[in-house]
Amino acid sequence: MTKIQSLSLILSGFAILLVTGCQTSIKSPEDELRLALAQKLMIDARYYCPTNSKGERCVKPLTQLTPDLADMVANTNLGGIILFAENLDSPEQITRLNNDLQNAAQNSSRQIPLFISVDQEGGRVVRLPRQYATSFSGNMAIGATFAKHQDKFAQQVGQVIGAELSAVGFNVNHAPTVDVNVNAQNPVINVRSFGENVDLVSELGASMTDAMQKQNVIATLKHFPGHGDTNVDSHTGLPVVKHDIERITQVELAPFQYAIDKGIAKMIMTAHIQYPSLDNTQFVSKAGESMTLPATMSRKILTNLLRNKMQFDGVVITDALDMKGISDYFTEDEAVINTFAAGADIALMPFKVRTPHDLNKADLLLDKLVAATKAGRLDRQEILDSAQRIMKLKQTYNLSSAYQGTLDQKLTEVKNVLANKKHKKIEAELAIESVTLIKGKGKIKPGANAIHIVMPDQNKCKAMLNAFAQDHQYFITCSNFTTGNAVHTKQSINSADVLIFGSIYPNQSAVEMGGMEDLSKMKNKLNRQSWPKSTQMKDMKALFSSAKEAGKQTIFISLRAPYEVTQFYNESTDIIATYSYNQSVGQDQVISGLAFEALAQILTGKREAHGQLPVTVVKP
């Protein structure tokens, strides 16, 4: 048996021995403990500046593995790495980077392949470039198809995302989101959820997970114990869920339990959320404040509940530890120690590596984790058991296959898999089948000639106009909602027979924009973007109302979470929801998006809207 064909972990008392074809000598107990702890770390290298001075901020995306980073991976026997959109330029570049990362792992003393992970949920949260990969309309769009198609699209989307990620060298996807979105004000989950119905979320989440894992990509069910009933984003704060245990069991925990019982839950991600009914233990934050433990740090939640009561025997990974739901209250080292003590197997993004000055952070952290174990803060056997779970998962999904085949062979597969005709056909079908008619007939009225469209920004105007480009029976104009000329917009509305308003609710969250690294920059970007302000929405509502009173057809399009349709219900003759507004620039520099193309087909009567709301919209 060759080392490529065999990867197993043997735990015997204090020793971990990796067998790779021929038996290696057993290291000291401390070496084996250190190896186990290293396997429990998953870092990011979103940016890396080889020549930066100490203390200088690095904003150069890492798209090519540098020799010093490769050495760090090899020398530490690191367990995994997560990549972000900044790391991913093109299919060829992504494949080379992941190949180089696995080669670095192969050069380690134990030759344990890396977990290489990414957030490729589909819809609003994707990391692979939209112009090269199949991005889909997202989970709530899938939920909208359930009444007609059951779990068809959950299976197909899981299969496609898994196949495309596997082709470019990823083996872990932090998806699907199985939070039950029962809070209309949820700022971070909303359309990332399949819906508000527990059974629907459970079935679709399990189907997507199973399909993805059949492509040899480990799915990550998130965010345990549930992020669906929060009105705070854990990227920017620490949410709290105050329901009683009975309600939490029936709603928040149910999709996770469903996947566990079916035997397909292999990895579960924790949420940085306080659940006082599950654990009201207090801790003192780094600022000296007494607070309730978040789930990521709770042994009662991760070990007593998830591991023991719910019988989950897979790998528990934390959400990113740089999120403010953790980083505002714990130091980097204490965050890792506390989450390992709680029962987490993998610490995601425990520290930043941005310059050569950061390359020793892994060794320094491992020193502190070894010391914490010797001091009794961490249980040695639990660390070894945790490493065994990690190694078992790597072996089950044959991660060592990354060492097989040449780079040229991998690049050939990428060309055949990414965004191929079959995948793009499924993406287009989901976009059209998920469109939901909430009010009216959803079609441009007979005899209409002039149509004016109002969109949140110029790119969405262009995508909508391009979607109508082949239909010459209408005179169509489009204005930018927040930065366009208000007088010109009113004039265009006055001369139109039909007014179409596309709106986005709520604002983008940090995870949609990429992560926590540039939160201040993202806030500035959000402030500059065309998200409707309350006064602007009030003005648009008044325009809609007057247009309807004048006999015009007023069509409201919810491009994201459909809860917003309530405030435009009475002013609209027709209301449609798409759950998505993805657009990309093609090689011909034309801006397009499948949601807009689906809208054009439905508005012109070429297709029917078959979607059904997977969440409750309160009608006035």
Q: Is the pLDDT of residue 59 over 80?
A: yes
| pLDDT confidence of residue 517 | 61
458 alpha-carbon distance from chain centroid: 26
Pick from 357-361, 399-403, 489-493: least confident: 489-493
Confidence of residue 483 (pLDDT cuts 50, 70, 90): low
Please give the average per-residue pLDDT across 516-540, as a whole number: 58
Given the residues 319, 322, 497, 574, the one annotated as active site: 319
Q: Is the pLDDT of residue 530 over 50?
A: no
Pick from 143-157, 431-445, 452-466: least confident: 452-466
Confidence of residue 528 (pLDDT cuts 50, 70, 90): very low
Please give the average per-residue pLDDT across 472-483, as a whole number: 85
For domain 435-603, which CATH number applies: 3.40.190.10, 3.40.50.1700, 3.50.50.60, 3.40.50.700? 3.40.50.1700
Q: Is the pLDDT of residue 527 over 80?
A: no
CA 311 vs CA 259, 314, 373, 599: distances in Å: 11, 9, 26, 45
Q: Is the pLDDT of residue 518 over 90?
A: no
Return residue ranges of the chain for CATH 3.20.20.300. Answer: 42-373+394-417
Please give the average per-residue pLDDT across 235-247, as a whole number: 89
* pTM for this prediction: 0.93
CA 361 vs CA 39, 98, 102, 368, 387: distances in Å: 15, 22, 21, 11, 20
Write the secondary structure of 528-568 as one string of H (helix), E (strand) and C (coil): HCCCCCHHHHHHHHHHHHHHHHCCCEEEEEECCCHHHHHHH
Max distance between CA atoms of the chain, in angstroms, equals 85
Q: What is the dihedral of CA 417, 420, 421, 427, to 10 degrees?
A: 100
| pLDDT confidence of residue 25 | 47
Say whether 333 sits in a helix, a strand or coil: helix
Question: Mean pLDDT for the chain?
Answer: 90
Please give the average per-residue pLDDT across 374-392, as a whole number: 98
Confidence of residue 9 (pLDDT cuts 50, 70, 90): very low
| pLDDT confidence of residue 571 | 95
Residue 319 designated active-site: yes
Q: Is the pLDDT of residue 82 over 70?
A: yes
Q: Does an H or E element contain 501, and which?
A: strand 498-503
| pLDDT confidence of residue 535 | 67
Confidence of residue 1 (pLDDT cuts 50, 70, 90): very low
- pLDDT by residue (tens digit) across 180-200? 999 999 988 999 999 999 999
Q: Are 159 and 210 in contact (CB under 8 A)?
A: no
Q: Is the pLDDT of residue 11 over 90?
A: no
| pLDDT confidence of residue 516 | 54
Q: Is the pLDDT of residue 24 over 80?
A: no
- pLDDT by residue (tens digit) across 274-326? 999 999 999 999 889 999 999 999 999 999 999 999 999 999 999 999 998 89
- pLDDT by residue (tens digit) across 387-431? 999 999 999 999 999 888 899 999 999 999 999 999 999 999 999
Q: Are 602 and 442 in contact (CB under 8 A)?
A: yes
Locus of tokens 């287009």: 428
Return residue ranges of the chain for CATH 3.40.50.1700. Answer: 435-603
Q: Is the pLDDT of residue 514 over 90?
A: no
**Which CATH class name applies to 42-373+394-417?**
alpha beta
Please give the average per-residue pLDDT across 229-242, as a whole number: 82
Q: What is the dihedral of CA 475, 479, 481, 483, to 10 degrees?
A: 180
| pLDDT confidence of residue 229 | 93
Confidence of residue 586 (pLDDT cuts 50, 70, 90): confident
Q: Is the pLDDT of residue 79 over 70?
A: yes
The residue type at 145 = T
Confidence of residue 17 (pLDDT cuts 50, 70, 90): very low
Q: Is the pLDDT of residue 471 over 90?
A: no
Please give the average per-residue pLDDT across 210-214, as a whole number: 98
Angle at the Cα of 414 from the Cα atoms of 211 and 394, rounded to 5 degrees: 50
| pLDDT confidence of residue 536 | 72
